[in-house]
Homo-oligomer: A and B are copies of this chain.
Amino acid sequence: MHIILLSGGSGKRLWPLSNEIRSKQFLKVLKNDAGEPESMVQRVFRQLHAAGIDTHVVVAAGRSQEQSLRIQLGGSADLVLEPDRRDTFPAIALSCTYLADVKKVPLDEVVVVLPVDVFADLEYFTTLLRMEQAVLDNAADLVLMGIAPDHPSEKFGYILPTAQRDGVYPVRGFVEKPDAVRAAGLLAEGAFWNGGVFAFRLGYLMAIVAKQRPDGDFATLLAQYGTLRKISFDYEVVEKATSIAMVPYRGRWKDLGTWNTLASELGSGCLGKGLIAEPTGDNHIINELDIPIVALGTRDLVIVASPDGILVSDREHSTTLKKHVDTFTAPPRYEEFLWGTARVIDSLPAVEKVPGTFSTRRLNIPAGRATGALVDAKAGLVWVVVSGTGLLTMDSKEVPIQSGTTVSIAKGQAHALVAHTDLVVLEVQLPG
């Protein structure tokens, strides 16, 4: 079985933790069995491994997610990096072309597509094996996972199954986001939620792709990616398919895409520095800052602080967060790179009367890592080495650095850094 994991967009539904660089699936707010923090993508990989189906995984993601994926997954998956975001059909088409053209996967082998940010039990992943089997048994061209609904949700699409044979249900139709009355009726009829999980033979999808882009060449498709129509897999493939079946999954299944749903899965009340005193409800604190948060006498709040901002939200209301923070345009203040992390610790708005831009970042570079050559054309920089040792290359000069070393880097000057021991460097960007 070949798995394509769709690593979706960034979004601000989990602001201030998620931003254009840190998508929600990379936030280490969950806990593994050993109680250690893990992200949604790490959890999915752990479950794929437990189900024994993690051998051939392709992650389809935007280019901005590359470093996060490499940091969190290491080499355990191939990455297919979309030059820009064009919805699920182009992403799946590109990934399938990668399997067929680059990995030379035979066209009769089965591909299963699923979202990377699903929160489900292990049975969800073993259900993928039953979906594969249904395709191999030729139950249908396209096999979907049906999620057994536990309430008449108006947010999901519904699958209408007919009588099952060996646990596989031929599908007679779909209903998109019904109102509450219709949803209750659908539950009574035995409808399932459409979980966005698809299984098919690679050749099935490649035939659809070939109608649009006949050459089937990965490099060409990648280069032309920006010309593909933005359309979802549901519209482009599922709606047009004539032979569809469904395999049911009856277990925990959540979209942890809002603080309300995510809070339910957060273990203890407080992650990071904080204190919940005299609570009158179920409160959660996630604090990435180095100053404490005190919640006093509060009820059912989610309190989240990151270098980007501070959220204090009633749990129920958190579903509308996106529209309120969509207007925030400040660039992310915390970034993870393969060489380490960079965090803005001070910036212009806090400093009155200073003309031009100004920001100060703390760079943490673990021992053995190297930044690679880079050119910062934006401004002159001053680096102050707080702790650790390393070697700085500027143009062709090599400068050994240690605690207390200061280095001025001119605008546009190429420089690279290797950490011999764990390095902490303050980078002052001068106004200009």
Contacts and interface: CB of A to CB of B under 8 A. Distances in A.
B314 A291 contact: no
A310 B291 contact: yes
Interface string A305-338: 1011111111011101100110010100100000
A163 interface: no
A346 interface: yes
A360 interface: yes
A307 B294 contact: no
Interface in A350-393: 350-356, 358, 360, 362, 364, 380, 382, 384, 386-387
Given A351-B362, A386-B428, A294 B310 contact: yes
Interface residues of A, number: 70
Nearest to A277: B324
Interface string A284-302: 0001011111111111010
A32 interface: no
Contacts of A313: 294-298
A403 interface: yes
A203 to B, nearest CB: 48
B277 A296 contact: no
A356 B424 CA distance: 13
Given A345-B346, A384-B382, A386-B358, A294 B311 contact: yes
A310 B310 contact: yes
Q: What number of copies of this chain does the assembly contain?
A: 2
Nearest to A316: B297
A428 B384 contact: yes
Contacts of A328: 292
Interface in A265-295: 273, 275, 277-278, 280, 287, 289-295
A384 B386 contact: no
A91 interface: no
A374 B49 CA distance: 61
Given A312-B312, A404-B430, A406-B408, A386 B354 contact: yes
A80 to B, nearest CB: 33
A387 to B, nearest CB: 5
Contacts of A403: 430-431
Contacts of A320: 277-278, 296-297
Nearest to A324: B277
B345 A360 contact: yes
A426 interface: yes
Contacts of A325: 294
A183 interface: no
A66 interface: no
Nearest to A295: B312
Contacts of A318: 296-297
A161 to B, nearest CB: 38
Interface in A402-421: 403-404, 406, 408
A347 interface: yes
Contacts of A287: 310
Contacts of A297: 313-314, 316-318, 320
A422 interface: yes
A274 to B, nearest CB: 9
Nearest to A349: B290
A12 to B, nearest CB: 10
Contact of A406 (B273, B292, B321, B406): B406
A260 B279 CA distance: 17
Contacts of A273: 349
Contact of A309 (B293, B360, B404): B293
27 contacts: A15-B294, A273-B349, A280-B314, A289-B310, A290-B346, A291-B309, A293-B310, A294-B310, A294-B311, A294-B325, A295-B312, A295-B313, A297-B316, A297-B318, A297-B320, A299-B299, A360-B362, A360-B426, A382-B384, A382-B406, A384-B384, A386-B430, A386-B431, A387-B430, A387-B431, A403-B431, A406-B406
